[in-house]
């Protein structure tokens, strides 16, 4: 129940003959003095009116109803927001550029929505931040993901061929079974990444950080460039070279 506000009654003004005794001599000041007296009576009567209590409480009730309505409609607003984000992604499918997909994907991921199988091939996604995103079987074929943050994301069985991952953060990313053939991973950070079953054929790994990766079951390193890889596990470079990798400083 809404509590009634404490109302203080405005003092009852004196009758005009008594009040006029203190009136100034100047005609225009006397006129203002009289109008002030009249407003004092208005304030006196309004301070006694129960209607003010009703108005105050109606205002509080309206605010309470608005808050309840906002909370009740919140799930529908979230659904609508997600629907619009997916519309942006699906409408731009197969097109170059961003088309609003960076913001849409980030928004969905921030709301913990699965992005399994999303198709953003050949898109401009530079600098996108998808920390811990669920992107299994996603298609990023030939997309520009330079400087992207995909740390601890799920990219199992994802299509990542010809994708530009230069300087990308792929720490502890799950890349089991992913197709990374011809991917550009120069200066990327794959520390702790899981690469079991991944295809690295023709991938450019120059200066890539490979600290703590799982690699013993990588599907292919044929023609992968391992020049200058950083913090690679013991035996990785020799194994890769023995299985068709190359070590070239410059592009050829």
Last residue of a domain, one of 44, 64, 84: 64
- Residue 237 contacts residue 213 (beta carbons within 8 Å): no
At residue 4 the predicted structure's pLDDT band, cuts being 50, 70 and 90, is very low
Distance in angstroms (rounded) separating the CA atoms of residues 146 and 169: 9
Indicate the average pLDDT of the chain. 87
- The per-residue pLDDT for 44 is 67
Report whether pLDDT(8) > 90: no
> Residue 165 falls within a domain, yes or no?
yes
Enter the pTM of the model: 0.70
Ranges of H-type helices in the chain: 16-19, 27-48, 50-91, 101-110, 236-242
β-pair partners for 220: 199
Statement to judge: residues 147 and 245 lie in one domain: yes
Statement to judge: residues 214 and 132 lie in one domain: yes
Q: What is the CATH number of the domain that holds 154?
A: 2.160.20
- The per-residue pLDDT for 1 is 45
Domain of residue 217, residue span: 113-252
User: Mind listing the pLDDT tens digit for each residue in 63-73?
Assistant: 766 676 666 66
User: Mind listing the pLDDT tens digit for each residue in 184-226?
Assistant: 999 999 999 999 999 999 999 999 999 999 999 999 999 999 9
Task: Give the chain's domain count.
Answer: 2
Chain-centroid distance of CA 177 in Å reads 28
Q: Which has more pLDDT, 69 or 156?
A: 156
Distance in angstroms (rounded) separating the CA atoms of residues 169 and 4: 59
User: What percent of the chain stands above pLDDT 90?
Assistant: 63
């Amino acid at each position: 129940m809404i509590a009634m506000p404490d109302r203080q009654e405005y003092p009852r003004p004196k009758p005009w003959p008594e009040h006029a005794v203190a009136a100034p001599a100047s005609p225009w000041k006397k006129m203002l003095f009289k109008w002030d007296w009249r407003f004092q009576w208005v304030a006196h009567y309004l301070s006694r009116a129960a209607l003010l209590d009703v108005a105050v409480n109606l205002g509080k009730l309206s605010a309470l109803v608005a808050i309840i309505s906002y909370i009740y409609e919140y799930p529908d607003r979230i659904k609508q927001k997600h629907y619009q984000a997916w519309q942006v992604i699906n409408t731009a499918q197969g097109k170059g550029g961003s088309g609003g997909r960076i913001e849409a994907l980030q928004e969905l991921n921030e709301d913990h929505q699965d992005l399994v199988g999303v198709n953003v091939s050949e898109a401009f996604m530079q600098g996108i931040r998808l920390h811990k995103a669920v992107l299994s079987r996603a298609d990023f074929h030939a997309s520009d993901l330079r400087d992207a943050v995909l740390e601890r994301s799920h990219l199992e069985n994802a299509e990542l061929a010809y994708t530009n991952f230069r300087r990308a953060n792929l720490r502890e990313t799950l890349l089991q079974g992913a197709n990374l053939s011809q991917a550009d991973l120069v200066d990327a950070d794959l520390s702790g990444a899981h690469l079991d079953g991944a295809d690295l054929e023709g991938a450019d790994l120059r200066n890539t950080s490979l600290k703590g990766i799982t690699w013993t079951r990588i599907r292919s390193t044929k023609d992968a460039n391992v020049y200058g890889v950083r913090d690679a596990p013991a035996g990785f470079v020799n194994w890769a070279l023995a299985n068709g990798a190359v070590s070239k400083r410059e592009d050829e």
